[in-house]
Structure 1
Amino acid sequence: MKLVSELFEPEPPRWGLRGDPWVWRAMAERLATTYLPPSLGEIERLLYAEFDRLVGVHLATETTEWVVREEFAHGGVSSGAVHLDTWRADLMPLLLDRASSKVAG
């Protein structure tokens, strides 16, 4: 059986703001022992729910571009800032693309 955390390797080459890689790593860690659900829809719900829990906003409905979360602050001007637009446009689609190849394969 495949684990959800496998979707997080390798890390993407670009991030939106400084908090994004910390959210990525926290999601991977939290899902390290979770088996990959059998359907892409279930995987999508799982990933969005975990993001929502960690960041404290509903990614699909939140209208702001970014939020700041102290738990993801590790130095720098935009420390702790999570770029929701990057998660919507790039990072979640990347995870779901990786998931689709795992479910199909």
Structure 2
Amino acid sequence: MKISEIFEDEPKPWGFRGDPYLWRELKERLDNVDMPDTPEQLKSIIEKEYEVATGHPINHREHFTVERFMQGGMSSGGIRPEFWHNCEIPLLVKRHAAP
């Protein structure tokens, strides 16, 4: 199983307008990466890819903008780290254990 498979069902609602673009980019980045053995390893991989994709570590708490995700609108390209830290990464890690 590849990590990208746990990104199939997209969450709703999103944090900011850039979050769906980040979700899809992470899915693409992890398309050829095998699912690790433990949830902790999965969390570490996702957090590292998040930092590479955004230029910010997951513990960065203030929202920020990623220019390549800007598609128009008030929060265009906006990433809400709290949303990823509290909702999305835990959701993905939970999917690690799902059959």
TM-score (norm 1): 0.89
List, as ranges, runs of 4+ consecutive aligned residues in structure 1 with deviation greater than 3 Å: none
Question: Which one of 71, 75, 86 corresponds to residue 74 of structure 1?
Answer: 71
Query: Matches of residues 39-54 of structure 1 in structure 2 within 5 Å?
Result: 39-54=38-53
- The residue that corresponds to 1:62 in the other structure is 60
TM-score (norm 2): 0.94
Alignment partners' CA distance in 2, 1:67 and 1:6: 27
Shift of 1:100: 2.3
State how many pairs are aligned: 99
Alignment partners' CA distance in 1, 2:95 and 2:39: 10
CA contact (8 A) 2:61 2:82 kept: no
- Identical amino acids, percent of aligned pairs: 32
Q: Any idea what SS the aligned residue of 1:11 has? A: coil
CA contact (8 A) 2:2 2:35 kept: yes
Alignment partners' CA distance in 1, 2:72 and 2:97: 35
What is the CA RMSD across the aligned residues, in angstroms?
Answer: 1.0
Shift of 1:11: 0.3
Task: Give structure 2 stretches of 5+ with no counterpart.
Answer: none
Alignment partners' CA distance in 2, 1:52 and 1:100: 24
- The residue that corresponds to 1:32 in the other structure is 31
